[in-house]
């Protein structure tokens, strides 16, 4: 598929996680860092939100961190650096090389036309799909390679999740479109 074919592909959320320190005193950082909240009755970690780039960091006493709400890969590095800087200023001993990597990219895509999901069910391998319209209006299609989960809606809107990079997401989209091209051709 050409890059133009991916024109409606949009990153909705990037989630990254990893280890940034050997241990973190959550009570201390939440008292020193503005925007960092700790409520152990509701959640076992501190929640640190930053506005630019807009993201939330879930910080755990084990030194692990989860970053979420990021909309592009450039913002991931920028946001991680801000979090690390704030933690250093609060007295946290950050690892010389923090090990943080993308664990999931959620993208949306619009195929641009109605899709008959009942026909898709008839075409695709039943072990790879779940479709119970009484429970959920979308069809769930689990692609094995690359490991991507696709939510396909009759409106033509698609959600792709599970990719660790945009290349995997695009490959998943290619697999989906190849799988349903006969259904789309029948609908013309």
The answer to which of 123-132, 135-144, 158-167 has the lowest mean pLDDT is 123-132
Q: State whether 153 and 176 are in the same domain.
A: yes
Residue 4 lies in a domain: no
Domain that holds residue 62: 16-103
Q: State whether 121 and 96 are in the same domain.
A: no
Q: State whether 63 and 83 are in the same domain.
A: yes
CATH number for the domain that contains residue 168:
3.30.310.10
pLDDT of residue 84: 97
Domain boundary among 85, 103, 121: 103
Domain boundary among 103, 137, 160: 103
Q: Do residues 47 and 33 touch, judged by C-beta distance below 8 A?
A: no
Over the range 157-170, which residues count as b (16 or more CB within 10 Å of their CB) and which as e?
A: bbbbbbbbebebbb
Residue 118 lies in a domain: yes
Q: State whether 77 and 49 are in the same domain.
A: yes
- From the list 135, 139, 105, the residue with the least C-alpha distance to 120 is 139
Task: Tell me the C-alpha distance between 160 and 155, whole Å.
Answer: 15
Residue 5 lies in a domain: no
Task: Tell me the C-alpha distance between 52 and 70, whole Å.
Answer: 10
Q: State whether 42 and 58 are in the same domain.
A: yes
Residue 7 lies in a domain: no
In the numeric block, which tokens belong to residue 84? 């690390």
Q: State whether 92 and 21 are in the same domain.
A: yes
Average pLDDT over residues 118-136: 86
Q: How many domains does the chain have?
A: 2
pTM: 0.87
Q: Which of 5-9, 71-75, 130-134 has the highest mean pLDDT?
A: 130-134
In the numeric block, which tokens belong to residue 145? 């390679």
Q: State whether 93 and 119 are in the same domain.
A: no
Q: Provide the strand spans (E) within the chain.
A: 10-21, 36-38, 46-50, 55-59, 64-70, 94-110, 129-130, 139-143, 148-152, 157-163
How sure is the predictor about 4, in pLDDT bands with cuts at 50, 70 and 90?
Answer: low
Tokens 């899709």 locate to 115
- From the list 136, 140, 119, 120, the residue with the least C-alpha distance to 128 is 140
- Taking CA atoms, 172 is separated from 71, 159, 167, in Å, by 19, 11, 9
Tens digit of each residue's pLDDT (9 = 90 or more) over 146-179: 999 999 999 999 999 999 999 999 999 999 988 8
Q: State whether 47 and 89 are in the same domain.
A: yes
Q: State whether 123 and 97 are in the same domain.
A: no
pLDDT of residue 37: 96
pLDDT of residue 181: 85
How sure is the predictor about 128, in pLDDT bands with cuts at 50, 70 and 90?
Answer: confident
């Amino acid at each position: 598929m050409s890059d133009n074919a991916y024109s409606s592909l949009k990153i909705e959320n990037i989630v990254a996680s990893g280890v940034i320190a050997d241990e973190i005193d959550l009570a201390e950082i939440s008292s020193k860092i503005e925007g960092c909240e700790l409520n152990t009755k509701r959640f076992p970690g501190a929640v640190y939100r930053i506005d630019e780039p807009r993201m939330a960091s879930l910080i755990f006493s084990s030194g692990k961190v989860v970053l979420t709400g990021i909309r592009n890969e450039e913002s991931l590095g920028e946001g991680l650096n801000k979090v690390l800087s704030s933690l250093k200023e609060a007295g946290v001993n950050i690892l010389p090389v923090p090990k943080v990597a993308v664990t999931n990219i959620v993208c949306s895509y619009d195929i641009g036309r109605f899709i008959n999901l009942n026909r898709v069910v008839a075409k695709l391998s039943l072990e790879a799909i779940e479709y119970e319209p009484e429970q959920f209006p979308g069809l769930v299609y689990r692609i094995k390679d690359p490991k991507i989960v696709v939510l396909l809606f009759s409106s033509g809107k698609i959600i792709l999740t599970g990719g660790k990079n945009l290349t995997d997401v695009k490959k998943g989209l290619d697999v989906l479109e190849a799988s349903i091209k006969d259904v789309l051709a029948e609908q013309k």
